[in-house]
Every structure is written in structure tokens, then in C-alpha cells.
């Protein structure tokens, strides 16, 4: 995610330049390989979000027992994958 941040910011800057550059970017983003990369970035962002919420709960000493910690880890992974699949299908 961190390494892709300059690319995402430059794409955002390109959308603000002109209507032509925005149209060109839309054509680029319509390619399947680019969509797959963006869906991968979406998964990384969502997994990071859910894992961050999980670790915030752990900081408050919630879910620190081993069975609960393992269950919440699986839940974070599943939630990231499910939400990525749903949003990816909507964006495709």
C-alpha cells in the first residue's frame, strides 16, 4: 500500500488536470489487469482496516485469550476477502 501511494496520488492529480486527462485515465482504468491491481490494493486497504480495529480492541484488552484472538484473526481475514469480493464485483 505504501509503495503504491505515489502512483495513486499521481492518478488523482491527473484526474484534476483536465477533462481529457480524466477520460484517458478512465480508459486506462478500464483494462482488466489494472482493475486486478486496484482490487488487490482494495484488499490490502480493507485487511489493514480490519486488522487495525482488531489490534485496537487488543490494546483495550478485549479478545486477548488465544481462542478469541485466533477467531478474530480469521474474522479479519474473512471480512477483508468478502468485502473485497463484494466491492470488486461492484467496481468491475
* Residue ranges per structural domain of the chain: 1-30, 31-92
13-40, pLDDT tens digit by residue? 989 999 999 999 999 999 999 999 999 9
Residue 63 is predicted with a pLDDT of: 92
Rounded CA-CA distance 1/37 in Å is 11
Q: May I ask the CATH architecture of the domain 31-92?
A: Up-down Bundle (1.20)
* 3-state secondary structure at position 51: helix
39-88, pLDDT tens digit by residue? 999 999 999 999 999 999 999 999 999 999 999 999 999 999 999 999 99
Largest CA distance in the chain: 55
pLDDT at position 1 over 90: no
User: Phi/psi at 76 (nearest 5 deg)?
Assistant: -60, -45
pLDDT at position 92 over 90: no
Amino acid at each position: 500500500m505504501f509503495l503504491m501511494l505515489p502512483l495513486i496520488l499521481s492518478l488523482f492529480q491527473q484526474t484534476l488536470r483536465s477533462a481529457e486527462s480524466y477520460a484517458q485515465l478512465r480508459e486506462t482504468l478500464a483494462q482488466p489487469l489494472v482493475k486486478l491491481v486496484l482490487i488487490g490494493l482494495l484488499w490490502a486497504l480493507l485487511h489493514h482496516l480490519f486488522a487495525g480495529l482488531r489490534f485496537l480492541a487488543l490494546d483495550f484488552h478485549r479478545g486477548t485469550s488465544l481462542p478469541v484472538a485466533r477467531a478474530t484473526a480469521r474474522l479479519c481475514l474473512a471480512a477483508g476477502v468478502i468485502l473485497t469480493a463484494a466491492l470488486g464485483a461492484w467496481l468491475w
